[in-house]
């Protein structure tokens, strides 16, 4: 598949995003058709996974040196938007897998190829409840328990953020006296998956817990996200913090869900006449006004996000310096677009009346999904506080 585009840094971000969104859109019908199966089986079905792999979508953010596409963050966001418009669980798993794949840029080439350059290579990871990596000759002895490993039923490798400890068990410190953490990478077969994912939405993500006990992990199979001494790839994509990339992706998932719900509601509104009314919903002045406002929320939130992704990637192409106000505005656009997407879904769900409560209709599952998506920290209102602190030139209370 030809992914070479001209433009700044060798890439035309708009052209590339259009290309990859089109690839994702081509898979949408089969992904949507599998949506009920995805939810019922609590994982993305193997035929859907195979289609995603064959379309190179799990390679979207991998380095070109590893046969990856090394695309830009706008492509990433728009791919997830298209996939999530079809099924949010599938979009979420793809987004998580892509975020984890950025680890390839921080590993020795041979190790990265072993993990990622395979027909079905997918890395999953999540935050620890408790995890320690004891230093031993050649690596670490790791015992840990981690949560929220989205895509775990289909992953081939796990990563686990762990506190590094000396041989006697005391926490290791860097030259500034700070605790050291590293992400341990190990084959999925080495871990115990703990089935805890009984939730209201995103049921098909299989975001279960996982654990290992006294597992030896060689030093070469460890890294730390955004840690420059670990970095092996120097394209502009890999100057963007991994957590920031995740935020762009989560926004795409939310926007995709909301777009489908709004489209489906407008179809319902053309044919449904509410009790006590003589005309269909689409001729009701309140519904007309609220629909127009929903379109404004969704499109303006998306436009702001797209603008900030372009500016942020432009800064990366120009040298990887991200001023505080730029980081603040990107953070605002991520959180704002996710919240606007939720508000649009809420309007459609309530305005559709009883149509929205039946599983056979396209509202109920997506209503649950969007409210699960926005429980993620990047959608929380506290992000506005921290971004506002930065806009006033103050040190934000949380990393932007």
The total number of structural domains that make up the chain: 3
CATH, residue 142:
2.40.110.10
Residues 176 and 131 in one domain: yes
d(Cα 125, Cα 157) in Å, to the nearest integer? Answer: 9
Residues 217 and 258 in one domain: no
CATH, residue 385:
1.20.140.10
Exposure on the CB side of residue 155, measured as CA atoms within 13 A = 34
Residues 219 and 182 in one domain: yes
| Three-class DSSP category at 152 | helix
Residues 132 and 107 in one domain: no
Q: Cα separations (Å) of 308 from 112, 214, 241, 334?
A: 30, 44, 15, 9
Residue 267 lies in a domain: yes
Residues 349 and 253 in one domain: yes
Residues 66 and 163 in one domain: no
d(Cα 400, Cα 390) in Å, to the nearest integer? Answer: 9
Q: Which of 116, 141, 163 is the last residue of a domain?
A: 116
d(Cα 311, Cα 223) in Å, to the nearest integer? Answer: 28
Residues 174 and 303 in one domain: no
Q: Which of 116, 134, 165 is the last residue of a domain?
A: 116
Residues 135 and 107 in one domain: no
Q: Which of 116, 143, 168 is the last residue of a domain?
A: 116
**The two structure tokens encoding residue 102:** 């950025």
d(Cα 182, Cα 176) in Å, to the nearest integer? Answer: 17
Residues 248 and 353 in one domain: yes
Residues 48 and 175 in one domain: no
Has this prediction a pTM greater than 0.75? Answer: yes
pLDDT in tens, the chain (400 residues): 444 444 444 457 888 999 999 999 999 999 999 999 999 999 999 999 999 999 999 999 999 999 999 999 999 999 999 999 999 999 999 999 999 999 999 999 999 999 999 999 999 999 999 999 999 999 999 999 999 999 999 999 999 999 999 999 999 999 999 999 999 999 999 999 999 999 999 999 999 999 999 999 999 999 999 999 999 999 999 999 999 999 999 999 999 999 999 999 999 999 988 777 789 999 999 999 999 999 999 999 999 999 999 999 999 999 989 999 999 999 999 999 999 999 999 999 999 999 999 999 999 999 999 999 999 999 999 999 999 999 999 999 988 8
**The two structure tokens encoding residue 35:** 């949506």
Range of the domain at 14: 8-116
Residues 102 and 154 in one domain: no
Give residues with Cβ within 8 angstroms of 336, minimum separation 6. 301, 304, 305
pLDDT in the model for residue 275: 75
Residue 265 lies in a domain: yes
Residue 397 lies in a domain: no
Q: Which of 52, 363, 365 is nearest to 202 (CA)?
A: 365
Q: Is 362 within 8 Å of 35 (Cβ atoms)? A: no
Residue 210 lies in a domain: yes
Residues 198 and 273 in one domain: no
């Amino acid at each position: 598949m030809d992914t070479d585009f001209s433009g700044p840094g060798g890439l035309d971000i708009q052209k590339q995003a259009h290309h990859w969104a089109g690839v994702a859109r081509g898979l949408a019908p089969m992904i949507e058709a599998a949506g009920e199966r995805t939810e019922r089986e609590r994982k993305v079905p193997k035929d859907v996974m195979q289609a995603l792999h064959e379309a190179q979508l799990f390679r979207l953010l991998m380095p070109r040196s590893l046969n990856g596409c090394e695309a830009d963050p706008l492509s990433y966001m728009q791919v997830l938007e298209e996939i999530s418009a079809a099924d949010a669980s599938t979009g979420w798993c793809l987004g998580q897998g892509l975020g984890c794949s950025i680890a390839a840029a921080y590993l020795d080439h041979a190790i990265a190829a072993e993990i990622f350059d395979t027909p079905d290579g997918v890395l999953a990871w999540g935050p620890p409840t408790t995890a320690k990596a004891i230093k031993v000759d050649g690596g670490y002895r790791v015992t840990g328990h981690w949560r929220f490993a989205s895509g775990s039923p289909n992953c081939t490798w796990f990563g686990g953020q762990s506190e590094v400890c000396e041989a006697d068990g005391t926490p290791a410190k860097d030259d500034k006296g700070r605790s050291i953490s590293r992400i341990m990478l190990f084959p999925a077969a080495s871990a115990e998956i703990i089935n805890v994912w009984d939730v209201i939405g995103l049921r098909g993500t299989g975001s279960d817990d996982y654990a290992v006990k006294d597992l030896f992990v060689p030093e070469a199979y460890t890294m730390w996200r955004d840690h420059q001494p670990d970095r092996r790839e120097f394209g502009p994509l890999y100057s963007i913090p991994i957590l920031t990339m995740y935020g762009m992706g989560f926004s795409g998932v939310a926007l995709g869900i909301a777009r489908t719900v709004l489209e489906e509601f407008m179809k319902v509104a053309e044919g449904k006449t509410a009790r006590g009314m003589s005309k269909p919903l689409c001729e009701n002045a309140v519904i007309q006004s609220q629909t127009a406002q929903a379109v404004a929320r969704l499109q303006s939130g998306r436009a702001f996000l797209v603008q900030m992704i372009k500016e942020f990637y432009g800064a990366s192409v120009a040298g990887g310096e991200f001023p505080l106000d730029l980081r603040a505005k990107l953070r605002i656009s991520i959180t704002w677009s996710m919240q606007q997407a939720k508000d649009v879904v809420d309007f459609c769900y309530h305005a559709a009346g009883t149509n929205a409560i039946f599983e056979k209709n396209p509202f109920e599952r997506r209503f649950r999904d969007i409210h699960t998506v926005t429980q993620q920290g990047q959608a929380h209102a506290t992000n506005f506080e921290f971004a506002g602190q930065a806009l006033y030139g103050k040190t934000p209370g949380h990393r932007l």
